[in-house]
Amino acid sequence: LSLGKVFFPLDSETCVNMKFLILLLLATTCACSAFMSVNFQDSGVVETGRLNYKGVKLRSFSIDGLEVLEPYIALQASEKAKVRKTPVGNGYYFSVPLIVENKPNATLRDKPLGKMTIMSVSVKLRQSLVGGCRKNCSDLTVTNLRKRNQQSVLFRCRRRSVCQRIFNALHFSTTSSDFIRSAMEFTFFGVSNGRSLRLTKSWVPVVKTSSRPYSDELWFEGDKLLLFTIKAGCGASAYESYNDEHRYSIPTDGTLPEVYRSQLLDDLPSALATRSGNWEMVAEMRVGDDRVAQVVFDVSKNRDSIDKTSWFNRRNVKSSYPFWVGRSNFNFFSIAGNGKYKRRFFINNKYGGCAADEGFWTVSDVKDPCPWGNGGWNGRVPTLVYNKYPGKYQNRGAAYADRFFIYLRYSSVPAASGSLPEKSFKFEGNKILLFTIKSGIVKGAYSTFSTKQTYPIPADKSLPNVYRSDLLDNLADTVIESGKKLSWPKCESKTSPCRRYSSTCQLEGVR
C-alpha cells in the first residue's frame, strides 16, 4: 500500500481484508445510487424539452440516461370552500386540494418518457416574498395534508384576515394574487424507475373547475377561456379562420392546436352574461411560453351590443404590453385592418412609407411588402408582427411571435383589493406613478428615490422632470389594497431604444 512516497508493508491476511473492505464500499455505493435523491434543479440534470398538457408546459429531464417528464400539478379551488375556525378556537384554516396527473403516453422525439409518481408534498413560504401579506404573514403556516389518498395544502393562521387574504388570492385572478401565490414553494417527492426524485416548483396553477361556466369549452392556464388561437406559419388565414363558423374539436390531451376557434365568438353577449362582474377580452402574442405583446379590453360594459368584431375597439382598451398603446391617434384599429395588404387585427398609428410606419402589431395573412412586416416570413401565413418599442417598426422595433391568442378572462377583484389611493398620480390609463426622473436634470436618482418629499401632481397630468410618490413608503400595503402589480423600473427614449431618456417606476392595472 502506497500513500504518496511512504510505503507500508502489508501481509496477505491484511490484503484480503483490505480487498473485502474496498469491494464492500463499492457495492454499497452502487446500491445506494439507485435510490439516490435527485433534485431536478441540480446541475447534472438536463432539461431536454417541453410538452403541452392542459395548457401548461411540462418539462422533461435527462437524469443519467433516464428521461422523465414532470407531472401536471395544480391547486383546485372551489367557491364552496371557506375559511373556518379551528375546533379548539385558537386560529383559522382552509385547505385546497392538489391535482397531480401524469400526461398519458408521453413521448419526445418518438422516445417514451418516464413518469414521476408523487409520494409526498411539502409546502413552505419563501420569506423574501411574504411582505405581500403585510406584517401579519408571520402567523401563517402552510403544510401538506393527506386524507383518503387525496393530497391537499392546508393553510393555518392566527388571524382570520390573513387566511381570508390568502384564500382570496387562490380564488380570484388579480396581481396581488400572483404576488402571494409566488411566495409559496412546493417540493414534490416521488419515484421513477426505482429512483427517488425531488422536484421544486415556485409556481403552481390554480384551477377553479367547480365554478367554471362552459365546462365543455377549452380552458387553459387555469382561468383563461380560449376563444381563438393560431400558430405562426401554420398555412391558414388568421382572418378567415377567425370569421369562419367552423366547429373545432377540443384536444383530449390538453395540447393547443395550430388553429382553434370557439363558437362562443358568435354569441358573446350570452357568454358575458354567465356571470356578473368584470370580464376582459385579451388579445396576446407569445414566443414560446413568454408573453411578448398584449392588449386587454374591458367588455364588462354594454355587453348586449358586443359582437366578435366590436370588442376590438380602442375605447375598450384597459391595458397593454410592452408599452401603453393609448386610445387615440390611429389610422387602423380593427380586426379587418388593412384589406389591401391583409394586415389583420391591426393596431397602427400612421403610414409614412415602410421606413416610417408606426404602430403596435399586425397579423399578416400574406407576405408583407415592407421589410418590418416580412422579417418573420417563413413561406406560409400568418406572420405575427409586434413592435417592441413605441414608434417606428423599422427602428429595430419589429419582432415576430410564435402564436396569437384571444381569450376571455374573469377579473373579479375581492372586496379587500382594487381601491386606488385618492392622491395618486394616475397616467396612461390605469397606471399609478411611483417615481420618475429625467436624464440630465442634475439631481441624483438614488437620493431622490430614497428621500421622502412632497411632490405636487401636475394639473395637466404631464410627466414632471422628477416625481416621487409617498406610496413608496408603504409599498406592500399599496400593492395589496390597489390590486395592482409593481412594474420594474424601465428606461424610455423618445428617439431610440438604446438612448436612456427617463426611468419610471409604476403600478400597473389588475390582471
pLDDT in tens, the chain (511 residues): 333 333 334 444 444 444 333 333 333 333 222 233 455 555 567 888 888 777 677 888 887 777 888 888 888 776 667 888 888 888 888 888 888 887 777 888 788 888 888 777 777 776 544 444 545 455 566 666 666 566 778 888 888 877 887 787 776 655 556 666 777 778 888 888 778 888 888 777 777 654 556 667 888 776 788 999 999 999 999 999 999 888 788 876 667 889 999 988 988 887 787 665 578 899 999 998 889 999 999 998 888 889 999 999 999 999 899 999 988 899 999 999 999 999 999 999 999 999 999 999 999 999 999 999 999 999 999 999 999 999 999 878 999 999 999 999 876 443 333 445 556 787 766 678 888 888 888 888 888 888 877 788 887 778 888 988 877 766 654 554 454 555 555 555 444 443 334 455 555 443 2
Which pLDDT does position 130 carry in this prediction?
A: 45
Torsion sign, CA atoms 35, 36, 42, 43: negative
Beta bridge partners of residue 143, listed in sequence order: 154
Q: Measured between alpha carbons, how far is 262 from 218 in angstroms, rounded to an integer?
A: 8
Angle 286-309-288 from CA coordinates, rounded to 5°: 5
Annotate 13-26 with three-state secondary structure. HHHHHHHHHHHHHH
Instruction: Report the pLDDT value the prediction gives residue 457, as an integer from 0 to 100.
Output: 85
Place of cell 490484503: 15
Contact (Cβ atoms closer than 8 angstroms) between residue 510 and residue 174 = yes
Bond preceding residue 9 cis, omega within 30 of 0: no
Torsion over CA: 118, 119, 124, 128 (sign): negative
pLDDT of residue 26: 32
**How many Cα atoms are found within 13 Å in the side-chain-facing hemisphere of 32?**
6
**Spans of all domains in the chain:** 57-104+113-207, 219-410, 426-482
Alpha-carbon span 508 to 79, nearest angstrom: 27
In this predicted structure, what is the pLDDT of residue 301?
81
Under a CB-based contact definition with an 8 Å cutoff, are residues 143 and 125 in contact? no
CA atoms of 329 and 336, how far apart (whole Å): 18
